[in-house]
Amino acid sequence: MKPRRIAAINALVVTALLYASGYAQGKLMAGTGKSDITPPVGTPLAGYGARSGRPSTGVHDPTEARALILDNGTEKVALVSTDHLGFDHGMVERVRSLASAATQILPDRIFVMSSHTHSGGGAYLEIFPILAGKYDAKIRAHYEERAAGAIISAAKNMKAARIAFGAGEAKGLSRFRSTWPPNGPVDPEVGVIRVDSVETGKPMAVLMNFAAHPTVLGAKNFDFSADYIGYARRSLEKMIGGEVMAIFANGAQGTISPRPFQGTDDWERSENMGAILAAEVYKVVLMIKPQDGVEIKLSRTPFSIKPQPPPGFPAGVSFPPQYDTEMDGISFDNKIAFVTVPGELSSILNFQVKDRGKLLGFEKTFLLGLTNDALGYIITEDEYRHHTYESSISLFGPSFGSFITNEAFQSLEKLRPIQKEH
């Protein structure tokens, strides 16, 4: 796609952020790795009930797991992003077990993120066959093993690194899709982590954090694809050049859809969106300067929650008595915070969490949606009471959103920068 065509679709605004570090405890090591998690053709896709679990017909582009390991000598953390509708907590725990055994990374230092593509592999859920097709234990294990494989590959590829953080805005790429409230908020912010190889002086990894459902490709598509995310990664890697790995982390995309684009078909529209997002990320990459070391702090809050299916939910679906899950946080240099969300967070709640992070002293707070679990929609009580689409499959009751938001606040509180006395 030509640059002027990209510009014609949307004007982008960038605000780059550069964070100086006072941290001097050792140098940073980093590694990247990836694996193809695409299941065999014929496996159903996951995401749209309208597909009714019918088999896939091909592979348009591979669905992947992409991992980044960061080790500052004190903390070692692995982030793995999967082109998948949503790894549940049981899948996450198996990925952790496999990867930890091979790499010695502590299990609770492994973060499994799902992009939520609606054109990724299915057959992994024992319930909701209309959503992901007939369950197949071997296919579920395939996803787990391939995701762990990406982390193991990254652990074998560690090298001296430098790191930078920034943010920009990709306005016009997304829209508030829910029926309540009218004209609900959209967050155009794109968070960026740039990791450079000390040896080459060039980027070896770029992680982009942006909130929008990967649903440019509709229910009529039966070919595996990462949707606009795959195009964004490939475009960004081409712009940067070298051996850089682009990694995508979805944000609070529960009530956010991609904005319709011009194009002859969904594939071209997906390519257009990916290219625009990549161009925005590239601007930030060029404007931030890597530093040698970084302080890493982590928090973890495990908890259990009981299902409360909404009124009118289809009968015959059997839920366990409770779900064991978690929320986690990562901060860098006491300035940048990432909070995990075990599902699809409303954009209204997204702003509440970001505002709390600012109040606690963080310069920027980002959310990692569908990370370490996939518990469905997490919305406000007001949204729930207005019987939106999201409320019809919000499975833990009207107060679930406020509960998760408070847990996010607690994650940030645990990471809160220590205020220096003057």
Q: Indicate the residue type of 306.
A: K
Q: How far are the Cα atoms of 59, 281, 404 from residue 340, in angstroms, in the given order?
A: 30, 21, 10
Can you tell me the distance from the alpha carbon of 50 to that of 32, in angstroms, rounded to the nearest whole number?
A: 37
Return the pLDDT at 41: 99
Radius of gyration of the chain (CA): 20
Question: Per-residue pLDDT for 420 more than 70?
Answer: no
Q: Domains of the chain: which residue ranges? A: 3-287, 296-415
pLDDT tens-digit readout, 3-54: 444 443 343 433 344 333 333 345 999 999 999 999 999 999 999 999 999 9
347 CB neighbour count, 10 Å cutoff: 23
Of 216, 211, 219, residue with least CA distance to 186: 211
pLDDT tens-digit readout, 337-390: 999 999 999 999 999 999 999 999 999 999 999 999 999 999 999 999 999 999
Q: What is the mean pLDDT of the chain?
A: 93
pLDDT tens-digit readout, 180-206: 999 999 999 999 999 999 999 999 999
For 54-72, give the DSSP string: PBP-EESS--EEEEEEEE-
Using the structure block, give the residue that is written with the tokens 């595996």: 224
Beta bridge partners of 35: 65
Render the burial of 207-239: b for 16+ CB within 10 Å, e for the rest.
Answer: bbbbbbbbbbbeeebbebbbbbbbbbbbbbbeb
- Higher-pLDDT residue of 53 and 311 is 53
Helix (H, G, I), strand (E, B) or coil at 39: coil
Split at pLDDT 50, 70, 90, the class of 313 is confident
* pTM of the predicted structure, to 2 decimals: 0.93
Can you tell me the distance from the alpha carbon of 225 to that of 231, in angstroms, rounded to the nearest whole number?
A: 10
Q: How far are the Cα atoms of 32, 46, 243, 323, 369 from residue 88, in angstroms, in the given order?
A: 23, 13, 31, 10, 13
pLDDT tens-digit readout, 294-306: 999 999 999 999 9
Question: Per-residue pLDDT for 136 more than 80?
Answer: yes
Evaluate whether 363 touches 336 at the Cβ level (below 8 Å): yes
Helix (H, G, I), strand (E, B) or coil at 111: strand
Can you tell me the distance from the alpha carbon of 169 to that of 220, in angstroms, rounded to the nearest whole number?
A: 31
